[in-house]
């Protein structure tokens, strides 16, 4: 029996990870339960053994994905002499722009979350707050000033990534990323 519980936990994790990738790539409405289960290499019928609804899965995938991103920012901040620069440089990479399915939940899903049920919004909001806190710690200085700069910085990072992905001109896309990088690093 223990083995089947362990397998169920592994399967659930496979589904959450597959959903996170597909949601970031295609959005919540552009991703079906059948596609998620296929990506996890599981049968469609098994979905409701693990989750009450697609909304529950959306919230869980956001929660876990955002937590991973926040933990990564914490590691960058702890390991680098210039933590803000490390975070900005990592975030505003072209490879991040070109692979939304592996990137930031904020840039990939903020517009979609605005149209989701309150439960998904609460999870997204909690993750965003945690990201602000990590960035404020990386910025340092006075608590209020650091928080204000963190709010602004995350907004610039996410906005730059959204716009860089949206345009059909690679030079303009690169220019957006570089302008924001320069602005944030030179503040």
User: Taking the model in full, what pTM does it have?
Assistant: 0.91
- Per-residue pLDDT tens digits for 55-72: 999 999 999 999 999 999
- Torsion angle of alpha carbons 150, 153, 154, 159, nearest 10°? 160
Mean pLDDT in residue range 161-181: 98
- Per-residue pLDDT tens digits for 99-115: 999 999 999 999 999 99
Mean pLDDT in residue range 153-180: 98
Q: Say whether pLDDT at 41 is over 90.
A: yes
Alpha-carbon span 27 to 23, nearest angstrom:
4
Q: Is residue 45 very low, low, confident or very high in pLDDT (cuts 50, 70, 90)?
A: confident
Alpha-carbon span 147 to 68, nearest angstrom:
21
pLDDT above 70: percentage of residues in the chain = 98
What domains lie within the chain, and their CATH numbers? Answer: 56-185 (1.10.357.10)
């Amino acid at each position: 029996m223990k083995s089947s519980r362990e397998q169920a936990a592994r399967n659930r994790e496979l589904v959450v990870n597959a959903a996170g990738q597909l949601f970031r790539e295609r959005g919540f409405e552009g991703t079906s339960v059948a596609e998620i289960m296929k990506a996890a290499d599981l049968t469609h019928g098994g979905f409701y053994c693990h989750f009450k609804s697609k909304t529950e899965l959306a919230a869980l995938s956001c929660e876990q994905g955002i937590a991973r991103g926040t933990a990564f920012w914490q590691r960058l901040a702890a390991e680098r002499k210039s933590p803000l620069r490390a975070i900005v440089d990592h975030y505003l990479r072209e490879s991040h722009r070109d692979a939304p399915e592996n990137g930031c939940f904020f840039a990939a899903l903020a517009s979609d979350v605005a149209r989701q049920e309150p439960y998904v919004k609460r999870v997204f909001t909690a993750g965003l707050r945690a990201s602000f806190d990590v960035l404020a710690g990386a910025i340092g200085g006075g608590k209020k000033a650091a928080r204000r700069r963190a709010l602004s910085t995350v907004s610039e990072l996410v906005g730059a990534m959204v716009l860089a992905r949206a345009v059909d001109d690679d030079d303009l896309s690169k220019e957006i990323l570089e302008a924001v990088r320069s602005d944030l690093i030179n503040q």
